[in-house]
Amino acid sequence: MSLNLGGSGILKVSQIGGKIEIQAEAEKKAFDISSIADVELQLIKSEDPSGAFATAGTVIGIFAGDFTGAIMGGFGGWLGAKLFSKENTYLLSIVLVTNEKFTFSTTASEKDLHLSEIQYIYNEFLVQKLKDNIKASKKWLENLKSKSKEKRYIAFSEIFKDINQDVHIICEKQEDKIENSNLLDSINQRSISKYLINYKTVNLERKKINDLFIKKNSDNKNLKGLISSQKRAVLTDDDSTLINAGAGSGKTKTILHKIAYLIDSKLALPSEILVLAYNRNVKEELKERIKNFENKKIKKSLELVADDNVYTFHGYGAKQLRKRKIAKFNEKTSDFESELRIRKGKQLDKIINDLYSNKNFKENLLTYFSEFFYTYKDYFKDIETYEDYIKYIRNIGQVTLNGDFMRSYEEIEIANYLFINGIKFEYEKEYSGDYLYQSDEADFSIKDKNHEKRNKDKKYHPDFYLTDYKIYLEHFALNKNNEAPSFFKNPTGYYKQYLEKIKVHKHNKTKLITTFSWEKSEGKLLKNLEKKLKKHNVKFKRLKDNELIKIFKSSGKLSRFTELVSTFLSHYKSNELTEKDIKNRILGVNGDNNKKRCLVFLDLFLKIFNNYQSDLKKDKSIDFDDMIIEGREKLQLEDFKYVIVDEFQDISQGRAKFLKRIKERNNAKLYCVGDDWQAINQFSGGDVTIFTKDFENLYGHFERVDIDTTFRYGKKINNISSDFVQKNPNQLKKIVKPHTEIKGDIHIYEKNVFTEVMNKITKKHKNVFVLGRYNLDKYDNKIRTRLKWSNISTKYEINKFVRNRSLNVNYKTIHAAKGLESDVVCVVNMFPGILGFPSQMEDDEILFLVLPNPENYPNAEERRLMYVAMTRAKKEVHLFSGNGFYSSEFVKELKKEFRPVDTENTSRYSSQNNLSKFLCPTHKVRLVRRSGRRGPFWGCPKYFSDNCRHTRDI
């Protein structure tokens, strides 16, 4: 069966009230006209039919029953057969102000008609709404003059209250592309330009008045002890305010002073202030600190706020439902990390275990573990450089189910297949026949002391030797044209060696089975291998399913799958998605292999999800996501004037919609405090783009205030951590400076010297955090066996210090350490892979299926997590990593700006006396500080390895 895109073909475009309705063959979809930002038209090219869907967004009208056949049968082939036998097909996409995209298909003869119909409806609607806004704009200046006499902060809505906010946002969104818009006609282009000029003039004057108010009121008694940026944050009183503050900048302190200022200035009664926290721990801390705030005059009022109006999001949702006895809840939930990682994880483990009895589920689960556990990258399409290849295989890890170390992802898949089917083999066993050929092949394997290049001894080591059958199996990285990947140093030489190896086996009359990368690209590798093995009478003795499950458990794959399901589940529910939504998004996944991977995962997830929901129903209970979604629907009016949100960077789509409803229902002002650099809770549904991109779309016009000072650490830790997190261009830019100069450095270790370093640290410092990416139990002796070259610090080594009561050493996950601080921070086990840091699991493309705005920057969340880890320290940061190939990407990046502590032994690096800005003209690397008979000087770090004598005076 094949997918019928005809279901998305446009039949009719019409206007229904304030909506554009598009009738497709399979369904119709209506869009609020004011929510549309643009329309796009794209020809599907016959030479790359599936590529068009990478940017298509949600494809409308897909027949769900046809979906599986299209994916499993090969998407590109299906599309070519369906679309290019007749007239050219175009994709017409409606782009919303939220950046969501909905796509339909149309033909070459009808595309202009459909586009013009959409343009006509859009412009007719907009021209009238713009007239209303332009009419209202004539009163703006008069309103501003009147309000300015009241000597207070003037909120946006007080001046611009009569305008249509949705249309206003459209005007602002269209500003940069008015002349190039696919939607606007010339009349609306001129009207928007005129409207925006008037708006900017009046709003600039409003800002000047507010700046003057803030300046004159900075000595308010409720602002005592605050720096200037904190005072501005407290005094800003707009309809929506976003406070963006770095680590250690006093975010909670700012919230406390804001509450005190609102009450003392009679801007709100205690009952008119709602405070929402991310988790239970933060809620309890806020309540305690509000009660202990030093202002005797309003002490009772502050206690009323703390006792009655501080909630977690799910707690406030539960409050809306409790009175109506809609469901029962667990009143003693801990913070979200422990709740979702432990309690929910156990629940999902039980469901998965119960589903083993379902034959289809068990088969798909084993298929997922053995074939689809990692995102596949095609050597010929997805990898451009040798460095990209190295990064890819470092991240997926190179250890098979049997514990063997392999050179490539495809070799691992073959090895696992042989192991699962009971076919004994030796990896890279020396060839017993004559082999005199010396190739000029580019070696693309991993070269280090633990995995030497085999042909250095001029001997031949085929990939696999099937010991019971005396069969050699070679896997070649060749496409159907017998071309090697472009990132190989000598692709032609690689092909020559392939031909020579074939000759060698023919000459020696040895049995050889060959497999190729093109087979993996087409999703045929294992099926073809099975046929080739059976042709040579190889017997298959597949391991029993229960044995395989035990192996997957011991390898950690099952627990990582459960964590992925848990994260997927949180986003699936929070974003209120459906099976059809996910299937539509799978169309945009790159490559047939990865489409199949997503489809297998979706089949598993839906069975788990249905059981999960069924368990909740049987228990007559709801989970956290339900509390928020159903609480939003049952929200009661409580006459709040202000809604204050802490840790806003971790908000989910469900919480964001709930918050929008609270604001609108109460006509309240919104005050959100957070730091997008510390958004690290994607696993529980967090969506940082709400903070960085979509705030205005959700909550209307807002003022952003940056708190620009950290009170925790000095210049060096501040500069290095700030520069590191801002490498991601999607993070909001802000300048943070230290309040006082505290000496502090960051050190890197590429050898397993954890015990040695900790002995020195604990003698010097009284307060030490050891931070890891995962719970300590993950770092047992088994992981050292699996990743023997990664310089792992096991839980036994770490516990020697943690359990020594005379030392104040605490182990925490980085997530658990957020909001805390210590004199010294040691980050352990910074190696590549799923259990490493950055963790490959957090960037799994399967999660893109449930994220409304997937981040396109590599390791974006992990980079923020690294920032959180470094900024827990007041004095020193120590990073423990592997060496070379086994070193964390983050360590490699930071190391470029550090100097070797010992130029003869570059396994230790330090931020002390950072590298010179000068480069060695020969080696193009930064000079390092060295000492000689005449004192310190800058010298090339290649002095010992390459005898480079380049120096420069300090």
The conformation of residue 405, written as its DSSP 8-state character, comes to: B
Closest CA to 521 of 416, 383, 357, 650: 383
What pLDDT score was predicted for residue 332?
Answer: 42
Closest CA to 804 of 838, 755, 733: 755
Separation between Cα atoms, residue 338 and residue 384, nearest integer Å: 40
* 699 phi and psi angles, rounded to 5 deg: -120, 10
563 within 8 A of 842, measured Cβ to Cβ: no
Sheet holding 36-43, edge to edge: 36-43, 89-96, 101-107, 58-59
Separation between Cα atoms, residue 331 and residue 311, nearest integer Å: 12
Tell me whether strands 642-645 and 669-674 are parallel, antiparallel or unpaired: parallel
Which helix (H) or strand (E) covers residue 824, if one does?
Answer: strand 822-830
Percent helix / strand / coil, the chain, rounded to 5:
50, 15, 35
Residue 646 structure tokens: 């802490």
The conformation of residue 917, written as its DSSP 8-state character, comes to: S
Which residue has 């002995």 as its token pair? Answer: 759
Beta bridge partners of 102: 58, 94
Helix/strand/coil for 153: coil
Which stretches in the chain have pLDDT values below 50? 1-6, 62-73, 75-85, 330-337, 340, 438-456, 903-904, 915
Separation between Cα atoms, residue 118 and residue 184, nearest integer Å: 11
Residue 510 structure tokens: 């040895």
Separation between Cα atoms, residue 207 and residue 153, nearest integer Å: 9
Rg (CA), the chain: 31
Packing angle, helices 64-73 and 579-586, rounded to 10: 30
Which residue has 């030489």 as its token pair? Answer: 493
Helix/strand/coil for 535: helix
834 within 8 A of 840, measured Cβ to Cβ: yes
Indicate the residue type of 111.
K
Helix/strand/coil for 796: helix
What pLDDT score was predicted for residue 396?
Answer: 66
Residue 257 structure tokens: 């002073």
What pLDDT score was predicted for residue 6?
Answer: 40
Separation between Cα atoms, residue 252 and residue 199, nearest integer Å: 35
What pLDDT score was predicted for residue 826?
Answer: 96
Closest CA to 717 of 909, 876, 899: 876
Separation between Cα atoms, residue 225 and residue 77, nearest integer Å: 68
Indicate the residue type of 862.
E
Packing angle, helices 624-633 and 557-574, rounded to 10: 0
644 within 8 A of 255, measured Cβ to Cβ: yes
Separation between Cα atoms, residue 838 and residue 536, nearest integer Å: 43
Tell me whether strands 822-830 and 873-881 are parallel, antiparallel or unpaired: parallel
| Cβ contacts of 491 within 8 Å, gap of 6 or more | 442, 483, 484, 485
Residue 106 structure tokens: 């149309």
Helix/strand/coil for 328: strand
Domains present along the chain, CATH in parentheses? 5-109 (no CATH), 121-216 (no CATH), 221-329+624-710 (3.40.50.300), 337-370+556-618 (no CATH), 375-547 (no CATH), 715-914 (3.40.50)
What pLDDT score was predicted for residue 84?
Answer: 45
What pLDDT score was predicted for residue 402?
Answer: 82
CA distances from residue 176 to 96, 125, 164, 281, 302 in whole angstroms, order as listed: 16, 21, 20, 44, 46
What pLDDT score was predicted for residue 46?
Answer: 53
Contacts of the segment 124-128: beta carbons below 8 A, 24+ positions apart: 125/15, 125/18, 125/33, 125/34, 126/33, 126/167, 126/170, 126/184, 126/188, 127/187, 127/188, 127/191
642 within 8 A of 241, measured Cβ to Cβ: no
| Cβ contacts of 514 within 8 Å, gap of 6 or more | 473, 474, 475, 476, 502
- Convert the pLDDT of each residue in 783-800 to its tens digit: 665 555 556 788 888 999
Tell me whether strands 809-813 and 745-749 are parallel, antiparallel or unpaired: unpaired
Neighbour-count burial for 71-103, b at 16+ CB within 10 Å, e otherwise? beebbeebbbebbeeeeebbbbbbbbbeeebbb
46 φ/ψ sector (left φ>0, alpha ψ -120 to 50, else beta): alpha
Which helix (H) or strand (E) covers residue 311, if one does?
Answer: strand 310-312
